[in-house]
Amino acid sequence: MENLQKIASQVRRDVIRMVNGAGSGHPGGSIGIADVLTTLYFKEMQHDPKTWTRSGKGQDVFILSAGHLAPVYYSELARSGYFPIEELGTLRKMGSRLQGHPCVTDNLPGVFKPSGSLGQGLAVAAGMALGKKMDGDAHRVYVLCGDGESEEGEIWESAMWAQHHKVDNLIAMTDWNGQQIDGPTTTVTGIEDLRDKWSAFGWDVIVADGHDFDSIESAFELAHAENGKPKMILFKTEMGHGVDFMAGTHKWHGKAPNAEECAAALAQLEETLGDY
């Protein structure tokens, strides 16, 4: 657990430096979900960058549906060994494989599909999960959506479909930080009763603290049940968690820190594995 904490701290540093270097991007949500994704990549998933293929055969698969969380996604991939960490400094630059939102055009290892237009990742993950079942591949498919993203109608089409087709090797996660671009979700559409919504759609719903590693690990453990139901883990998170002036607000959803802000943020995040 201590190890996960260390990795997550480095991932947060990567995110802040990457977005600062790019001059644009989405730091708030990225550092808010860093503890969950670090647990996923460094503890939960059975995956191996050395034998990875885009088909996902023989491995667990992670799909990022909320594509604007690209900075944290790229950091987790690089720190896991999918590509050199030095490449993180190319985020959003011309010719980089690290596009502003993830894509597969240049075959970036670890990435299964493009993301950016919201609401679409759950369906693709469900399709991959069904594909694994058809092929007798016992691995799981994980997907991360945002709570704001869940305002998209397609999410609920997929919710119905995955339940009906009993895709129980699908573990969906919602980054439940209560924030979206225009403000708190309570003021936008009032989507906060996510637990009831997913339960009503027939899913196994697990609620966990997205900043407590024990809670995160237990949630994944519960989600392993082979009970004919797809799983939804609602991770209660704080947008901007780990940097005091970014925490708990939507204001850093899509804003890059300047040099001064970047330095102030990095002062709060221990360099544990060496900066890229």
Partner 1 sequence: MKKYIDSGKIDTRSGFGAGLVEAGRKFPEVVALTADLTPSVKMGDFKKEFPDRFIQCGIGEANMVGVAAGLAITGKIPFIGSFAEFVTGRVYDQLRQEVAYSHTNVKIASSHAGITLGEDGATHQTMEDIALMRALPGMAVVVPCDYNQTKNATVAAAAWDGPVYLRFGRPSVANFTGADEPFEIGKIYNLNEGKDVTIATCGHLVWEALTAAEMLEAEGISAEVLNVATIKPLDEKALLASLAKTGCAVVAEEHNWAGGLGEAVCSLAAANQPVPVELINGQDRFGQSGKPGELMKAYGLDAEHIAEAARKAISRKK
In the structure encoding, which two tokens stand for residue 269, read together?
């995040």
Options 130, 145, 173, 205; binder of partner 1; rule CB under 8 A: 130
**CA proximity to 193, closest of 172, 181, 176:** 176
Q: Is 125 in the site for partner 1 (CB under 8 A)?
A: yes
CA-based angle 64:179:269, to the nearest 5? 75
Contacting residues for 274 by C-beta, under 8 A, at least 6 apart: 10
Residues 105/137/235/74 CA torsion (nearest 10 deg) = -30
If the CB atoms of residues 154 and 192 are measured against partner 1, the closer one turns out to be 154
Nearest CB to partner 1, comparing residues 31 and 108 = 108
Q: How far is the CB of 178 from partner 1 (least distance, A)?
A: 26
Q: Does 34 bind partner 1 (CB under 8 A)?
A: no
* 107 vs 187 by CB, closer to partner 1: 107
Give the range of 6-14, 35-43, 129-137, 191-199 binding partner 1 by CB under 8 A. Answer: 129-137
Distance CA 260, CA 238 (A): 23
The region of 5-13, 50-58, 172-180, 217-225 touching partner 1 under the rule CB under 8 A is 50-58
Site membership for partner 1, residue 135 (CB under 8 A): yes
Based on the shown chain and the rule CB under 8 A, indicate whether residue 56 belongs to the binding site for partner 1. yes
Burial of 64 (0-12, 13-18, 19+ CB in 10 A): buried
Dig out the tokens for 56 from the structure.
């996902």
> What is the radius of gyration, based on Cα positions, of the chain?
17
- Greatest CA separation for the chain: 53
Q: Residues 168-197 vs partner 1: string with x where CB under 8 A? A: ------------------------------
What residues pair up with 183 in beta bridges, in sequence order?
180
Instruction: Output the smallest distance, CB 236 to partner 1, in A.
Output: 27
Candidate segments 89-97, 108-116, 180-188, 243-251, binder of partner 1 by CB under 8 A = 108-116
**Cα distance between residue 161 and residue 155, in whole Å:** 10
Closest approach, Cβ 165 to partner 1, in A, equals: 8
Read off φ and ψ for residue 61, nearest 5 degrees.
-125, 140
Cβ 12 vs Cβ 257: under 8 Å: no
Taking CB under 8 A as the rule, does residue 199 contact partner 1? no
Shortest distance (Å) from residue 64 CB to partner 1: 13
Q: Which stretch binds partner 1 (CB under 8 A): 26-34, 104-112, 190-198, 246-254?
A: 104-112
Instruction: Assess 128 for contact with partner 1 (CB under 8 A).
Output: yes
> Which listed range, 32-40, 72-80, 113-121, 201-209, lies at the site for partner 1 (CB under 8 A)?
113-121
- CB nearer to partner 1: pick between 34 and 145: 145
136-170 burial string, b = 16+ CB within 10 Å, else e? ebebbbbbbbbbbbbbbeebbebbebbbeeebbbb
**Which residues are at the interface with partner 1 (CB under 8 A)?**
54-57, 103-105, 112-117, 119-132, 134-135, 153-154, 157-158, 160-161, 164-165
